[in-house]
Structure 1
């Protein structure tokens, strides 16, 4: 767990709470109390509430007047819907990046993929990803961010960020034991996406992105 003693400013608190929401630090549906968190971070309860409101805007926290904040509920139906929307965004962003990015984009994507595969192989061999699930989640996000990074459509990138975070929260909440078999599968999926991205074949890239998410569709 990241050190929270020095996390007293709003961006740092946001990053820490986002991390917990994406890595199982809160049970889905559980109430999130601003008082205890304010004491933990050494800030005001209003600061924590402001951060939780921001997290509710990106879909990671539910908020209701007079009921407060709760970690977002998870369901296979919601995960399916998010996965399908994610495919649409990522396909368009990746294809546009393939057209625009050139050698610099290819080099960045290759570096991001290399880092991701190293972490996934470590988890697959160890058979227990819990200690480094946060590191893996960050590396996977970096790979997918890089895949769409040269699409030249800032609203698409902004939307993808929110959708990816919601998807990751749903995944962690629903998959209690996803290693090592899970990682053996996604290592292969990420390699296929990587190969397609470097091939220049737009249809192939679209297919591999959908294939990567298809297991989540209902």
Structure 2
């Protein structure tokens, strides 16, 4: 599989039909992910329909999609609210992510083919290139897609929805702490490359090592205050031991 068989537009396509609905979904999700919409203010279908110049039916469809992703909670006549995520919940999600991905990566090695590796490297390349954009959400979306694709090779499909939810909530927690401010555009290397190199060489120990540190690096970069408050450290080796 060559890079020409995969496009960034296809990777980032919203999971909702209709051009207008897709645009509204993308914008509302962006506002939630970077903290412009929070659990403190109710969201009404009528106000959103006015803001986006569309029908309430379109807004309802979008909110249902966001509810399935557990980004909003619809409460009947009270309105719709962005779901709240505490620091302790985020740390629990971090532990869960490490357990899921570090278990899965070793099981992925026998299932790696040249085509699958080419697809993973193409997604990693999109991620590396996207960090030059003044948009923190696009690299976040691509990073989650990369990890979902990698996990799908492990032969544990029943756990994939759990990983998707975990990744989305962790990224939301970390991104909202900076309200969309781009803090990773100066990175000149691709953190996914060592993971893929180790997979290609069939080295499970190295793959798990690079993966676990990539996961910790992302959380530390965006939410170091949470780790300092909870563990008094941002050292990856120490934190991985404490989170195990």
TM-score bracket relative to the smaller structure:
0.7 to 0.9
Partner of 1:3: none
CA distance in 2, matches of 1:13, 1:179: 23
The match for 2:160 among 153, 157, 160 is 157
The match for 1:8 among 11, 16, 20 is 20
Counting only pairs closer than 5 Å after superposition, residues 137-156 of structure 1 correspond to structure 2 as 137-156=140-159
Q: Which segments of 5 or more consecutive residues in structure 1 lack a partner in the other structure?
A: 1-5, 124-130
Partner of 1:174: 177
Aligned 8 A contact 2:112 2:153 in 1: yes
After TM superposition, the structure 1 stretch with the greater mean CA deviation from structure 2, 82-91 or 41-50, is 41-50
- In the TM superposition, what is the alpha-carbon distance from 1:170 to its structure 2 partner? 0.9
- The 1:30/1:207 distance shift into structure 2, 3 A limit, reads farther
Q: How many residues align?
A: 203
Aligned 8 A contact 1:23 1:169 in 2: yes
Counting only pairs closer than 5 Å after superposition, residues 26-37 of structure 1 correspond to structure 2 as 26-37=37-48
- The 1:101/1:29 distance shift into structure 2, 3 A limit, reads farther
Aligned 8 A contact 2:35 2:177 in 1: no
- In the TM superposition, what is the alpha-carbon distance from 1:138 to its structure 2 partner? 2.6
- 2:119 paired with 1:108: yes
Question: Secondary structure at the residue paired with 1:26?
Answer: coil
Question: Secondary structure at the residue paired with 1:88?
Answer: helix
Aligned 8 A contact 2:44 2:80 in 1: yes
- In the TM superposition, what is the alpha-carbon distance from 1:134 to its structure 2 partner? 2.6
- In the TM superposition, what is the alpha-carbon distance from 1:164 to its structure 2 partner? 1.5
- The 1:7/1:177 distance shift into structure 2, 3 A limit, reads closer
Q: Deviations over 1:180-210 (max 9, x none)?
A: 4x56679564343333333312233223322
Question: Secondary structure at the residue paired with 1:132?
Answer: coil
Counting only pairs closer than 5 Å after superposition, residues 96-135 of structure 1 correspond to structure 2 as 96-120=107-131, 122=132, 131-135=134-138
Question: What TM-score, normalized to structure 1?
Answer: 0.74
Name the structure, 1 or 2, with higher relative contact order (CA <8 Å, separation 6+). Answer: 1
Partner of 1:209: 211
Question: Secondary structure at the residue paired with 2:140?
Answer: helix
- The 1:134/1:85 distance shift into structure 2, 3 A limit, reads same
- In the TM superposition, what is the alpha-carbon distance from 1:35 to its structure 2 partner? 1.2
Question: Secondary structure at the residue paired with 1:30?
Answer: coil
- 2:65 paired with 1:54: yes
